[in-house]
Amino acid sequence: NEGALWGGRFAGGPADALAALSKSTEFDWRLAPYDIAGSRAHARVLHTAGLLSEDELSGMLDALDRLEADVRSGAYAPSPSDEDVHGCLERGLIERAGANLGGKLRAGRSRNDQIATLGRMYLRDHASIIARNLLELVRALVEQARRHPYAPMPGRTHLQHAQPVLLSHHLLAHAWAVLRDVQRLADWDNRAAVSPYGSGALAGSSLGLDPNAVAAELGFDSAVFNSIDGTASRDVYAEFAWVCAMAAVDVSRMSEEVTTWATKEFSFVTLDDAYSTGSSIMPQKKNPDVAELARGKAGRLIGDLAGLLATLKGLPLAYNRDLQEDKEPVFDAIDQLEVLLPAVTGMMATLEFHTQRLAELAPQGFALATDVAEWLVRQGVPFREAHEISGEAVRVCEDEGIELWDLTDEQFTAISPHLTPGVREVLTVEGSLSSRNSQGGTAPDAVAQQLTELERQLAEL
């Protein structure tokens, strides 16, 4: 069992089947640079504690530098006999520093506190990449909103025409959701910025090593206050997986709209050629594959989260080998989002909106009926009665196959004497939109204020 991190108490090596099951280098090797950074910090606290001489420390750091260069160039990589990233890197260290010096680094640390720390470091780095990707999507949505400040569209509930809204208002609704995902990642980082290094296997170290020195060197705010919690908890991973899944779901919802909007029946948008695909048999096809893959990947990220939670559910404290299964779900969430988000951003940034058609459809389906009712309320009619009167107007229109604004003054007064010609002021899309001027409303002025607030929150990140 040459090269293994344990073996003294065993008479023989592990069965091939166990070794094959145990092995994690295919997925944990991506943590190698973090493992080496952890080793440097650990060497320094061993030195501070008097367990490595000055010469030994510099020899160790030099060997770690050479090892890191070989890892980065690919000259050093896991061999079939390496169980995990930690064992493989110890082998590489001993090859470079010799068994005497290389064998000293493991004192006072365990793979249990190491892996918990490296995972957090990796997630923190990728959280900031994903946050940047999400911010680019927010900016693409804001850009589209700015390009169409006054264009109306049919606002929907239950997918049915509800009330006219500004296209910019609708696009910014997606922007807010994605912005919150970015804010969540920033908030998550407060909990992720705590280092488990120094927790040892589960109980801490007897060697006088300073966990806060390691934490500071590795970019953490502090070290954990409980070594069992440090090695056994993975809620930070699960929270990360949830935020990733939520971001994917937000992107999936906007993508579902894009696929609908791009149909012949809706004809709200044309997809840019660079963000659509053709068919191998149907020459006319232009398919929204980016949007569909976004929907598909959202399902996959939900699976990553659910799988991770299921792994954690039955685990007693402290470390259990089940926790080796914590990495692939979060790595997968990262890999998927990092390839998905730039494509979705490109798709949203290059969407061409058919504003003429959107404007024509905006008032249809009696989308101004609420405006009639609210106009009546402003004239002093109780809403209950106003709702009835407006509903009656819709019924008359439906019978005659006309729209609300086609009703004559006589028809209006026949429905209710309250319906004087003044009601026509809200029977236009512009009148309807500009009347909804409360904070958060779709009136152009309110949307302009909304944009200012959104930009303010973006600047805070």
Q: Which helix (H) or strand (E) holds 343?
A: helix 327-350
- Is 442 among the residues that bind ligand ARG (CB under 6 A)? no
Length of the chain: 461
142/135 Cα distance (integer angstroms): 10
Query: Which stretch, 255-263, 321-329, 356-364, 404-412, contacts ligand ARG (CB under 6 A)?
Result: 321-329
CA atoms within 13 A on the CB side of 275: 26
The pair of structure tokens assigned to 80 is: 């079939």
Sequence letter at residue 19: A
> Per-residue x/- marks for ligand ARG, 102-141, CB under 6 A?
---------xx--x--------------------------
**Based on CB atoms, which residue is closest to ligand ARG, 59 or 200?**
200
53 in active site? no
> Quick one: which of 24, 233, 252, 442 contacts ligand ARG (CB under 6 A)?
24
HSE-CB of 163 using CA atoms within 13 angstroms: 20
Residue type, 90: E
Among 9, 264, 321, 456, contact with ligand ARG (rule: CB under 6 A)? 321
Q: How far is the CB of 326 from ligand ARG (least distance, A)?
A: 7
Of these residues, 158, 206, 280, 438, which one is catalytic? 158
**Where does this chain touch ligand ARG (CB under 6 A) — which range of 216-224, 316-324, 340-348, 383-391?**
316-324
Closest distance to ligand ARG from the beta carbon of 299 (Å): 26
Take residue 119 and report the two structure tokens written for it. Answer: 């995972």
Part of the chain binding ligand ARG (CB under 6 A), chosen from 55-63, 299-307, 317-325, 333-341:
317-325
Q: How far apart are CA 224 and CA 204, in angstroms?
A: 10
Torsion of CA 97, 100, 105, 106, to 10 degrees: 130
Least spacing, CB of residue 460 vs ligand ARG, in Å: 36
Token pair for residue 223?
Answer: 């070290």
Instruction: Pick the piece of the chain touching ligand ARG (CB under 6 A) from 147-155, 220-228, 318-326, 401-409.
Output: 318-326
- Residue 123: CB atoms within 10 Å: 26
Residues of this chain, 35-94, that bind ligand ARG according to CB under 6 A:
84
Which CB atom, from 333 or from 404, has the smaller least distance to ligand ARG? 333
How far apart CA 269 and CA 85 sit, in angstroms, is: 49
Q: Looking at beta carbons only, is 255 or 324 nearer to ligand ARG?
A: 324
CB 39, min distance to ligand ARG, A: 15
Task: Pull the structure tokens for residue 102.
Answer: 């290389």
Contact assessment for residue 133 and residue 342, using Cβ atoms and an 8 Å cutoff: yes
- Alpha carbon dihedral 378, 379, 381, 384, in 10-degree steps, equals -30
From 22, 128, 267, 279, active-site residue: 279
Tell me the number of residues near ligand ARG by CB under 6 A: 9
Nearer to ligand ARG, 21 or 461 (CB): 21
Query: CB–CB of 198/284 below 8 Å?
Result: no
169 an active-site residue?
no
Q: Under the rule (CB under 6 A), what is the footprint of ligand ARG?
A: 24, 28, 84, 111-112, 115, 321, 323-324
